[in-house]
Structure 1
């Protein structure tokens, strides 16, 4: 993901890479040479980079167990940050950060990147214009296949509960939750089921089998604002799926379907009020809905008003929903988000 952000930075004139931090010394100097970063701005300790007076803002691309650490340091040193998702390893960390943030807030953006898929942004506009009538329910799926047993993926950090917190839920489900909040509104309750399909994976270093304690699959029903019902499914064991994040929105007179793998089109169904016939068409997304994620980060840091930027509150609220989904799966019952 760091390479993806390097590419985004290279596409914009108002932001430039000025410092790097990594625990991998060889990689740090390789990328430093590629980017023309002076050796005095190549750091091994992240606080050294964050407190550097020449650094105006921080982009944090680290494993989940370090998300809260970087956020806390940025709050303490008052440095704007673009942080990856999930917001924190768990909700306890999120609550701690919220206390710090309320006292000394900073510009903070969370990397819910699917808000920047043109089709998703256009779908939101169609909803705001009431194109499908009263929204009744939604279906959200995020499917990948790399974790299926046949691929024999070894025990990586994404399968280590200490480092990642959850499996498919935090990795992919966090995006599903944000897409629902972005398009529809807040979650009120959830009822969840979680499963681990591959209980052991081979350690690439030792060759021995290592127990997997995170989920390969998570599904949940949800009640959202305005009595909208939602069904959600995520797994990394869906053969045939690449990176398939899709949302379907069902209204009284029409349906909107978007898929991140088709970022420039919206499948739009509408029923004719007189003839009661349903038409289905593919709408091309207008050019005005294309916006790079870091453009909004620049806007946030420079104090420009920009609607829909995923901020600290969005990260905190997302983590709270994740916590309630885990709680629901463990208790085997529906859980209110704010109980």
Structure 2
């Protein structure tokens, strides 16, 4: 596909994060929203009218959209249990895709997709959106410049409060293991894993603890109580490339936290801290070699580190050279780490990632 060609995008799934993707598509001249798919007819027609998309390009079955020859690429925003199916169909029809995380419902699905992908690969981006926080991108550059010396350990937290008992959140799809696979782990932990891989490198081993704080939640329709089989809390230690050690914590029970994804990187002569809630700031502490005194300053992220996520999707679709774009391999590796975390928690022991 030529670099300057307008890419006609089909959007599958119109709830939740779809509005953010519609906005991102509208910001890029090279992307044009041309087809929609959702099982909710009312929502499908509502969004179709808002976007000026004709009824003939409003689909209720995802394969109908994916195989449409006028659709150049797909953006998929569907629940976790459909992630693998969308990817499989896009591989089958050789259609570029931007897929959401977690990569699949479980690692077995990821392995099956990897076999298909190896035979007939496609441009595939996975929605690890925190790679596009300016502060995270700047932190990666500071590491490359050796600003804090040899990196020794990393601390990653992703905290939310919406699931705490006091809020009495009902039984939603995010609490249904059949639909979501895991709870906080796949939803938030997948981002923690990718941030560590983006900034440091591959995981070598993990040792994990998982807990469910709210064992039952009320069905909003029937009023009956449903058993919750997914996690509200996950913590794990890890060893990454170059023997960098890491501590990770994610929970939906952190009162006072809205959407707090935070990374702290500890080196021999300094520390870097970034927080998605302060996307344009990097907190840097470092030792002045002569005085051996520590100073801490808040750096404003300079120009050049701001990049819209779908800009990189256009790079993939048009076949341009790229580096650092979260792709099929990143999704697969992320799912493997998720699998090992679950395994470690179940066995109450450390587990190597590549066993």
What TM-score do you get using the length of structure 2 for normalisation? 0.95
**What's 2:56 paired with?**
40
Q: CA deviation at 1:307?
A: 1.5
**What's 1:211 paired with?**
227
Structure 2 CA distance for aligned equivalents of residues 117 and 275 of structure 1: 34
Residue 126 (1) aligns with residue 142 (2):
yes
Q: CA deviation at 1:304?
A: 1.1
SS of the counterpart of 1:282? strand
* Aligned equivalent of 1:137, options 142, 153, 168: 153
Structure 2 CA distance for aligned equivalents of residues 286 and 70 of structure 1: 38
Q: CA deviation at 1:287?
A: 1.4
SS of the counterpart of 2:33? coil
Structure 2 CA distance for aligned equivalents of residues 290 and 79 of structure 1: 28
RMSD value, Cα = 0.3
SS of the counterpart of 2:84? helix
**What's 1:294 paired with?**
310
Q: Which 4+ runs in 1 deviate beyond 6 A?
A: none
Structure 2 CA distance for aligned equivalents of residues 307 and 281 of structure 1: 30
Structure 1 CA distance for aligned equivalents of residues 70 and 81 of structure 2: 27
**What's 1:114 paired with?**
130
Q: Deviations over 1:252-305 (max 9, x none)?
A: 000000000000000000101111100000000011000000000000000111
**What's 1:198 paired with?**
214
Residue 59 (1) aligns with residue 75 (2):
yes
SS of the counterpart of 1:245? strand
**What's 1:157 paired with?**
173
Q: CA deviation at 1:125?
A: 0.2
SS of the counterpart of 1:65? helix
Residue 83 (1) aligns with residue 91 (2):
no
Structure 2 CA distance for aligned equivalents of residues 98 and 330 of structure 1: 26
Q: Deviations over 1:196-224 (max 9, x none)?
A: 00000000010011000000000000000
Residue 261 (1) aligns with residue 277 (2):
yes
Structure 1 CA distance for aligned equivalents of residues 203 and 59 of structure 2: 40
**What's 2:251 paired with?**
235
Q: CA deviation at 1:306?
A: 2.1
For structure 2, the 5+ residue unaligned runs are 1-16
Structure 2 CA distance for aligned equivalents of residues 299 and 255 of structure 1: 33
Residue 102 (1) aligns with residue 124 (2):
no
Residue 6 (1) aligns with residue 22 (2):
yes
Residue 16 (1) aligns with residue 32 (2):
yes
Q: How many residues align?
A: 339
For structure 1, the 5+ residue unaligned runs are none
**What's 1:222 paired with?**
238
